[in-house]
Amino acid sequence: MAVKTTRFISASAQLPQLKQGPGGVFMSSQFHTKADLPPKSTNLTGQTGVITGSNTGIGFTCADMLLGLGLTHLILGVRTKSKGEAAAKQLREKRKSPSITIDVFLVDLESYDSIQDFVRRCAALPRIDFVILNAGATDDTFSLVKATGHERLVQVNFISTMLLATLLLPVLKSQSPAGRPGRLTIVSSGLSLHAKFPQHAAPRILPAFDFEKDFDALDQYSTSKFLLHLYLDELVQHVDADDVVVNCVDPGLVKGTNLHRDLGSFTHLVMSAIKSVSGRSLEAGASTYINAAVVQGKETHGCFVMNWKIFPHGMFFYGPQREDTQARLWEEMMEEFRFLKLEEVIQSLRGA
């Protein structure tokens, strides 16, 4: 594959900046958008799919729906083995098909060793067609991950998620069927569209999130999901859509999930009330993953998919500080993972 000489511009990056405010986006998404469920013709027979954060909520429902579409080999990526095995048992009992294989792989996004172990297990599979990185965190209290020193939301939702995504790219490139690109979908959030992201002005971006005095739970979560957009836009400069199609997706606000389990009791109560009134069904939320990872094609490479269609990136993406911030963020990630030779992993994607 020839080295790119011009910058790839995704369909999301080509769209104009979103003009709606947070309230308008929420109302449009939650009340005025019809779910676009997978076409009945979707047939995943013979395919292998990997989903992290899949023992409960949207991830579990997505796993079940994929099996219903004929998926032959399902990998549940979970943090706790007992919960993963319980989910696998429930899926096996529901489907009752001897042709379905369900395996449980452990992955803890607060541990770089665990992430590497997970990638090694995926690399040992004879085939992988798609990966959906759904695992994430919410929290309304500040905490640092002891192993890394980084604030937990940014660590789990961005740093570790994109490490995992990047390490999986060579696996997807080599393990996907000939003539068909592997697929990698990363779960973002509609909240990323209006992330304030004041940390962009700091001399170093990632350490700027690690101070409790500056912690704003909502914007920290929103920004942790927006950082995915910045990194993704740079990552796809090194990944050809003929090898692996990479995108990120927003499931919307969904009922019946445990996403807000780590919030305080009052905040949890408020979120539960909002979800009960305006939340999408689990099936609708899960269908956004399937749409981005299976139904849509190469046109979504490097894109943010929301409401079952290609959407603009977060508003900061279109501002004057984006290019410099993006370059600094990329370099900080390469420095963070120099010990894993992440830059060499990325450079290897350009090869044949």
Active-site residue numbers?
221, 225
**Whole-number Å distance between alpha carbons of 342 and 145:** 21
Q: How far apart are CA 237 and CA 104, in angstroms?
A: 32
CA dihedral for 193, 231, 122, 11, sign (positive or negative): positive
* Euclidean distance between CA atoms 53 and 111, whole angstroms: 15
| Residue 73 φ/ψ, nearest 5 degrees | -130, 120
**Dist. CA 116–CA 107, nearest whole Å:** 9
